[in-house]
Amino acid sequence: MLNMRFLPKYAIILLSSLLIAAGTNFFLVPYKILDGGIIGIALIINYISGAKIGLAIVFCSLPVFLLAWIKERDIFYSSVMGLMVSSFLIELLGPLQYYFLYYVELGSISSAIIGGFLMGSGLGLMLRFNASTGGTDLLAKFMKRYIPLNVGVIIFLTDMLIIGAGGLLISKETFFHSILTILSGGVATGLCTLEDGKQN
């Protein structure tokens, strides 16, 4: 029988994954905007080669999952679920992008801000419940133990490196729009993990 005390965590992972998938497909991909972290790396791969975003996320996350397996098994198991659900939903919602854009007209700047906030909220909620998508957000969770910074700040700094590389490989428009995305996402993640940071 399913242990009822785990249901809220499963629900949070599902909700968070939906936020991440919606932010990715409906707001970032149409304008070739990047997020940071593993998702950002996967988006770079997708924009350059056309590879599936969800699959790229899984492969790029393997080194971080190895670290989680060695350091903290509980987070590893929760993050495996977050990774698989979010990657699956990103692929599932992909075909709906056309219909969303048909009914909702947003410019690239608005999309960058909204998409970043949705994705940052999804990541922040997962981190609050000791889960993640297995990317640099999980790495930031480990780094927070040794660096006196909020998780959102650590993720922001890492994201800047990734979108900087993406800007060089794709376009300067991608870079500037992606800055808005990670700023918005960093604020959302920081807000979601703020109380957790005070307790720790």
Calculate the average pLDDT of the chain.
84
The one-letter amino acid at 144:
K
Structure tokens at 94: 């992909």
Arithmetic mean of pLDDT, 53-59: 92
What pTM does this model have?
0.83
pLDDT in tens, 93-140: 999 999 999 899 889 999 999 999 999 999 888 878 777 776 776 777
pLDDT in tens, 149-191: 777 677 778 878 888 888 888 888 889 999 999 889 889 988 8
- What DSSP line would sit under 64-104, residue for residue? HHHHHHHH-HHHHHHHHHHHHHHHHHHHHHGGGHHHHHHH-
In the predicted model, is pLDDT for residue 199 greater than 90? Answer: no
Residue 139 Cα distances to 51, 151, 200, angstroms:
24, 10, 17
Q: Which comes out higher in pLDDT, residue 169 or 142?
A: 169
